[in-house]
Structure 1
């Protein structure tokens, strides 16, 4: 027969299971409720960390008034998001919709080379022949794969349709970052206390590493890519290039994944020389050439340390972030994954160094 002690232990186990089940349900339901706000909160934290040095400088210039500095910096960020960033985004959305429609109808083609290319000195005949062969071959390939690209068109239209929601998330993130600026020291202290419980011996190092990685990726990768794409978009618009917004978005994407903007800029420059007079083509080529090498100039200036995160990690972060969170995920994906990568590498390095330091 069971003793009283056994019955009490059984009741304790049942009560513990009920409490754990309720706690798990509460955690799950809380996550469901806050899940839509996770990208907004993540991007606002990234903005606050990346722009905190500027906030500190502005606060000192204003005589130690952090709230006024936060308001001014937030208004500037909102102006950037509402102004040129929204213009670029809407232009890109129009380009995506047009491309998706062509994919759906199977009308996607590559134009044949203009005849005047043959008159170009030195490279004219060879370039015309290469372009003509590429046009015919790509056109034949597109006819074969067009039926299989129709599902891609649906995905592109879905992403384009979510652009408005993405813009709203950006605005909310910028506004929330404005509230985080004055509370920066308290947030850093909270992060330090949290890490001290997880990794007591490396909490300070991990906190500095996370902040440095966020600033390196957000400023040296995301920030430079946005500046480069905005300037490229201005050049494309001035040149009257078809699909200027979509091409500028492609410049930003290629720059983020460290491939570079030359893949987009070189064909555009060729088109400009075909379509424009000499003076206009020369000035636009000079402008776009400067835009093309801008990342090589800005990255060493804005990055406090060399970026050690592999390109593949950034690429996976871009794709995974976009699929998970839409247009906002395009920016927070590579940053979050880069921080996770750097902290994991540092953690593994610490664990490996610890046995080596023990006396034999």
Structure 2
């Protein structure tokens, strides 16, 4: 027996997902205010994630682009710390989902439960109903459960038993995963990877930063994460995303993004290249990077700096190989494409 409630259409999403239309580039005052807000978030996360400024900036850039973030690395290098610090810097409802082999799709999205008193089904929201969702070790769950995030991440809503339930706005997923060749992992399928705007690798800290981490967490001192206070609200995040969507991208720059994505599809080392969604994510990320750099327009440098972070994890090489080999191939292909693709005139 299924609910009889008619499906409901989700409300329009704000920011980068709003319908396209002419909009003036951000004013200098708006750019300055955006820089202060984003700078406060950056500083809050940096206070915990030491010596990884580029990683932290890329994570905040992904947030401002309106996308979702995948953090992949070996255990113990700070993937969850990065996600948690970002969550605590934002005054959003936060839910952490520990992905395990026995996690079910309904645990993520929610289920309809029969209410005998009302003689009807009542929807019980799952863990995904939050402004920021930390999907920890996402590739330890089965592909069936991983796919529960597809609709959420692409469309900002959940459909259960034919009824559509809108998610909060903003809605930001930060997923962590271990390398796919580790025991007990299920590689994310191409469609799932394509939902993530960017993939980052934290990497090992320098010896100096590692000493600082040990000192900060010893001697009865409080956990540095407990000292991270919210510095931005949901309204701030929505404003940043909407402002980034207004950053000007010249027609030649748009063509450059398309040419870069198309070149990956025709590269001899690649069986599956970047999708049109990947090109859109690259443009949104470039706009966000320009805004955080204090500009109201996108430069080719923005595209080039983010291309590997946004595109490499989506590429499927012809020769396969393990995750490390695929990542190296993807980054090599992106570097080759950037070197061979000129910026269109005009």
TM-score by length of 1: 0.21
- Of Structure 1 and Structure 2, which has the larger fraction of its residues in strand? 2
Structure in which a larger fraction of residues adopt helix: 1
